[in-house]
Structure 1
Amino acid sequence: MGLGMDSQAVRTRMVQKIAAQGIADPLVLGAIHTVQRHRFVDTALAIQAYEDTSLPIGLEQTISKPSVVARMIELLLGGRREANGRLGRVMEIGTGCGYQAAVLGCVAAEVYSIERLRGLHDKARENLRPFRLPNVHLLLGDGMAGYAKGAPYAGIIAAAGGEAMPQAWIDQLADGGRIIAPMHVPGGKQALIVVEKAGVQVKQTVLENVHFVPLKSGLA
C-alpha cells in the first residue's frame, strides 16, 4: 500500500465531500478525518477506502459508506450530550471491522460495541489495536440483547436492520437518549429510524431509506 493512502489530503477531500452532503457537526467531521479508513479494509480494497462507498469485509458483512456513518453519528449527537459537547456512554450494535467504533471513540466518552460473529470481533480487535482507544470496549455477544451492564446509554447505534426495535435497546437507553438504527418499514424497504426517550414517552421518527445487512440474533 502506498503512503498516498494515508495522506491528509485524501482524508480531507473525503470530509469535504461529506460536508457538502449536509453533515455540519465539527465533532463528527473531525472524527471522520482522524480515523484512517483504509486500515479497516483488505489491502486489495484500500484504494477505494476514501470513496463514499460501502465495501465487503468478509462473512457477508460490509463497512458502511463514510457519509452514512457520519449521518448516523450526527443524528446520535442530536440527543443527550455532555457539557463538553461529546456524547456520554454509547452502545454500538454490530462492530463489523471496527471502523464506526473508532469514529464513535472520538466523539463519545465510552463505547461498548457488540459483534455476534467471532471472525469479525477478532478482526475489529486487530484493526483497532494501533489506534489505542482505551474508551472503546469490544464485546462478543448478541446485539439484540444489548449490554445491560453498561446501561444506561446516551446513545445506541445499529449497523444492521431489523424487523422491529428490540425492547432491550429501549430499556437500556438513558432518559433524553437516542437510538439510531435501520429498520424495516411498510413496502419492504429499510429506513433510518430515530427513537427518542423522554421519561416513559418514546418517540419514533422515520427518515430516509437505507440499505443495511439484516439484524440477527445469536452468536456465530
Structure 2
Amino acid sequence: MEHKSGFTFQRMKDQMIEELLNNGIKDFRVLDAMSKVERHKFVDEALWSRAYENRSLSIGHRQTISQPYIVARMTELLIQRFVGRGLVMKNVLEIGSGCGYQSAVLAQLSENVLGLERIKPLVRKSRINLLELRISNVKIKHADGFQAADELEECFDGILCASAPRDIPTELIPLLKKDANLVIPVGSSEQTLTVITKKSKKNYISEQYDKVAFVPMLEGKSNH
C-alpha cells in the first residue's frame, strides 16, 4: 500500500479532533491528550487510512479499538470530578486494555497507568505499541478484571473498563480512592455507559450516560 506522510496523518488527526469538538467533547485536556497519540500506530497498516475516522477497527482476536468519540467520552467522564478540581491523577487502572490506545491516552493525563488485558497476544502487541511510541508510564499486565479486586490494592484515582459486565461490578469499587470514578459500560444486549463514584468504603453513587456497545467482560486469561 502507499504510505501516508506524517503531514497527512497530522491532518487526519486534526480532523478527528475537530469532529470530537463538534460531537460535544469540550474538555481541552482530553482533546490535547488525544492529539498527542498516534492512533494509526495501534492498528494494522492496512487500516491506517481509516485510523482517524470515528469508527471502531479490528485489532484481531475478535476485539476492536474503540472509536475515538468513545475513547474521548470515557476519558472525559473519568477525569471530570478529579482533575477538574485541580488535583493530579497519580494512578489509573484500565481493564481490557486491548492494543494499548486508550492506555496511551490516559498516560497523557495520569502519572501512572496500569492496563489489564486477558488475551496474551494483545498484551504483547500493546507493549510493543507503547514501547515504539516511547510511552513509559504505562504497565500492561496479563490478567482479567475479575482478578483485580483480589490482587490489587486500593490505590486508583480512576478505573476505566473497556468491556461490559451484566451488572455493576461492586468488587471493583474498593480499588478506588474516595471521590474517584469507575467508568464502565454495563449491560448485556443493551449497554449503558455508567459512572460509579466512590463516596466511602460502603457507599457509592451511580450515573448513567450514553448507550454503547462493547464486548462482554469475561473471566479468565487467554493465551491465544
Shorter-chain TM-score range:
over 0.9
Give the corresponding residue for 2:154. 151
Match for 1:46 among 38, 45, 48?
48
> Quick one: distance in 2 between partners of 1:173 and 1:100?
19
> Quick one: distance in 2 between partners of 1:160 and 1:149?
19
Q: CA deviation at 1:149?
A: 3.7
1:176-187 matched pairs, under 5 angstroms: 176-184=179-187
Q: Supply the AA of the counterpart residue of 2:16.
A: M
Q: CA deviation at 1:134?
A: 2.1
Alpha-carbon contact 1:145-1:166 (below 8 Å) kept: no
Which deviates more from structure 2 when the two are superposed, residues 146-155 or residues 27-36? 146-155
* TM-score (norm. length: structure 2): 0.91
Give the corresponding residue for 2:5. 3
Alpha-carbon contact 2:96-2:144 (below 8 Å) kept: no
Q: Supply the AA of the counterpart residue of 2:121.
A: G
Distance 1:6 1:84, change over 3 A: farther
Q: Deviations over 1:137-193 (max 9, x none)?
A: 1111122222644532111001101112223311111111000000117xx411101
Alpha-carbon contact 2:100-2:126 (below 8 Å) kept: yes
Alpha-carbon contact 1:193-1:204 (below 8 Å) kept: yes
Q: Supply the AA of the counterpart residue of 2:156.
A: Y
Is residue 2:221 matched to residue 1:219? yes
Secondary structure at the aligned position of 1:44 is classed as: helix
Q: CA deviation at 1:203?
A: 0.6
Match for 2:99 among 61, 72, 97?
97
Give the corresponding residue for 1:175. 178
Q: Supply the AA of the counterpart residue of 2:221.
A: L
Give the corresponding residue for 1:16. 18
Is residue 2:199 matched to residue 1:191? no
Q: Deviations over 1:26-83 (max 9, x none)?
A: 1100111110000000111111001000001000000000010000000001132387
Q: CA deviation at 1:133?
A: 2.0
> Quick one: distance in 1 between partners of 2:208 and 2:175?
21
Give the corresponding residue for 2:206. 204
Secondary structure at the aligned position of 1:128 is classed as: helix
Match for 2:29 among 18, 27, 30?
27
Runs of 5+ consecutive residues of structure 2 not aligned to the other structure: none
> Quick one: distance in 2 between partners of 1:69 and 1:94?
13
> Quick one: distance in 2 between partners of 1:4 and 1:176?
41
Runs of 5+ consecutive residues of structure 1 not aligned to the other structure: none
Alpha-carbon contact 1:82-1:88 (below 8 Å) kept: no
How much identity, in percent, do the aligned residues show? 35
Match for 1:122 among 118, 121, 124?
124
Give the corresponding residue for 1:160. 163
Q: CA deviation at 1:131?
A: 1.9
Q: Supply the AA of the counterpart residue of 2:196.
A: V
> Quick one: distance in 2 between partners of 1:168 and 1:27?
30
> Quick one: distance in 1 between partners of 2:135 and 2:6?
24
Alpha-carbon contact 2:89-2:109 (below 8 Å) kept: yes
**Count of matched residue positions in the alignment of Structure 1 and Structure 2:** 218
